Amino acid sequence: MRRIGHFIDGVETEGKAAGFQDVFNPATGEVQAQVALASAADLEAAVASAAAAQPKWAATNPQRRARVFFNFVGLINKHMDELAALLSSEHGKTVDDAKGDILRGLEVAEFVAGAPHLLKGEFTDGAGPGIDMYSMRQPVGIGAGITPFNFPAMIPLWMLSPAIAAGNAFILKPSERDPSVPVRLAQLAVEAGLPKGILNVVHGGKEVVDGILAHEKIEAISFVGSTPIARYVYGTAAAQGKRVQAFGGAKNHMVIMPDADMEKAADALIGAGYGSAGERCMAISVAVPVGAETADRIVAALKPRVEKLKVGPASDKASEMGPVITKASQERIRSLISSGVDQGAELVLDGRDFSLQGYENGYFVGPTLFDRVTPDMDIYKEEIFGPVLSVVRSNTYEQALQLVMDNPYGNGTAIFTRDGDAARDFAARVNVGMVGVNVPVPVPLAYHSFGGWKASAFGDLNQHGMDSIKFWTRTKTVTARWPSGIKDGAEFQMPTMA
């Protein structure tokens, strides 16, 4: 059986594994590989490799670091089909969706190829008599990323690209559920010219995470996962003086105004709610039609579309939605659907008993649609992370807006309307980090930042865009005066530029 090792000091290795964990094919339920789980010694070896390599990498000029990313982007494109097939086999998402996962990560690798410009500081000539002042961005040293199963290419690339381009070494702890793509990306980075030790990959669970949070040589940590773990990561690492960005869960709403194009809104909801089997932190899981007529029209438009969704394995090119990641996830989603029925929601389409001939042991859940959901129900309060869309009816725009604002999560939201005033008001007032206007999944492009509000994010700086450069660097400001500008005698007053 295939073994997946760590990637330490430029080579794949099982190290001094604390054990091995099965890696499943979600479409069949079969074990397809085993991944090594890192011991404390393995993490220490990764940190030691990073510490040895980082000073020379930091001293490499940004233009040369950028060239590595140009090569890296080319290699990812060259190996796109291989990476997508590997990703699909372990995650379960369709091949086209897997390519989208990789491409959205690739965009950040492309963005940081502009490192010479992104890392420029500021300069003021003649800030005072004979005084110049300038700032520079310097790497933090060793950074670490802890990434989730749902985007095994995109989120690692979002983290490692700006961190490494800024001159840091990086330790990646990906999900042990789909670990192959992160290791393959590390191999391609070395092939692109990245020095060994600058990117290390270690696998494992809470013990490895705790080791990363506590390690005195790791200066900055980026995390994506559930809100309870994000709180834990942020609190634990920040208490030890580390720089931390921790992104948690979501409950994303899409408000549908009466003037919206219902057919286009329904199409948007299908893709945003059921794409990747709902296993996206930016998935739309709540549709909020304004007015009874709007609600009736959107449900009528949704039902036939949901019924026609092609559910199947990634190996079937006709598949539009694959399985969820694990048996435990499948059972949890089914249980939440049952709770919705028990608590009085109207079950329009039920995916609990979905079964696919030849894949009866796969972790499939059929697309599920609820109407007349209320905010006190578990299917509304919980982040389901599955192919379940809930319709929460609203009488007015203000009521719909308040529903979104009262939710404890604040990752993404959208409004569908032809009314510019309504769209502008919604974007200005809603307390959510990413807003779409007739865009259901408003994930910003690489040169803008990605991040939520409220219980969806902890820390001051977001992912990618200029926020990522700020996160992975420290600003140093220099005030310089040369002898010709220095007055005779000691100066005891607070220095001024006068």
pLDDT for residue 498: 61
pLDDT digits (tens, 9 = 90+) for 84-95: 999 999 999 999
Q: Tell me whether residue 39 is in a domain.
A: yes
The SS3 of residue 244 is strand
Per-residue buried b or exposed e for 475-484, using 16+ beta carbons within 10 Å of the residue's own CB: eeeeeebeee
- Do 170 and 318 reside in the same domain of the chain? no
Q: What is the CATH number of the domain that holds 223?
A: 3.40.605.10
> Residue 153: inside a domain, yes or no?
yes
Q: Residue 148 domain-assigned?
A: yes
Q: What is the spatial distance between Cα 236 and Cα 459, in angstroms, rounded to a whole number? A: 13
Do 306 and 216 fall within a single domain? Answer: no
Cβ-count burial of 402 within 10 angstroms (0-12 exposed, 13-18 middle, 19+ buried)?
Answer: middle
| 78 and 157 belong to one structural domain | yes
User: Rounded to an integer, what distance in angstroms lies between the CA atom of residue 445 and that of residue 283?
Assistant: 17
491 found inside a domain? no
Indicate if 87 and 38 belong to the same structural domain.
yes
**84 and 23 housed in the same domain:** yes
Domain span including residue 308? 252-437
Contact 53, 169 (CB under 8 A): yes
pLDDT attached to residue 497: 65
Residue 305 and residue 164 share a domain:
no
**Residues in the chain, pLDDT under 70:** 485, 497-498
Written as one string, the DSSP assignment of 401-417 is HHHHHHSSEESEEEEE-
| CATH (domain of 418) | 3.40.309.10
**Which residue type is seen at 379?**
I
* Beta strands per DSSP E along 336-384: 346-349, 368-371
Same domain, 299 and 358: yes
Same domain, 234 and 264: no
In a domain, 445, yes or no: no
Q: Is 228 inside any structural domain?
A: yes
Residue 140, CB half-sphere, CA atoms under 13 Å: how many? 24
pLDDT of residue 483: 76
* pLDDT, tens digit, 9 for 90 and up, residues 355-384: 999 999 999 999 999 999 999 999 999 999
Which pLDDT does position 276 carry in this prediction? 97
Q: In this predicted structure, what is the pLDDT of residue 7?
A: 98
How many angstroms separate the CA atoms of 68 and 87, rounded? 24
Residues 148 and 273 in one domain: no
Q: How far is CA 20 from CA 12, 14, 363, in A?
A: 15, 9, 22
223 shares a domain with 84: yes
DSSP 54-71: HHHHHHS-HHHHHHHHHH
Q: What is the pLDDT of residue 485?
A: 64
Catalytic: which of 17, 47, 281, 299?
Answer: 281
pLDDT score at 482: 81
How many structural domains comprise the chain?
2
Whether 438 is a known active-site residue: answer no
498 part of a folded domain: no
Together in a domain, 240 and 274: no
Q: What is the largest CA-CA distance in the chain?
A: 90
Tell me the whole-structure pTM to 2 decimals.
Answer: 0.96
- The pairing of beta strand 252-256 with beta strand 243-247: unpaired
Identify whether residues 279 and 240 lie together within a single domain. Answer: no
For residue 485, being part of any structural domain is answered with: no
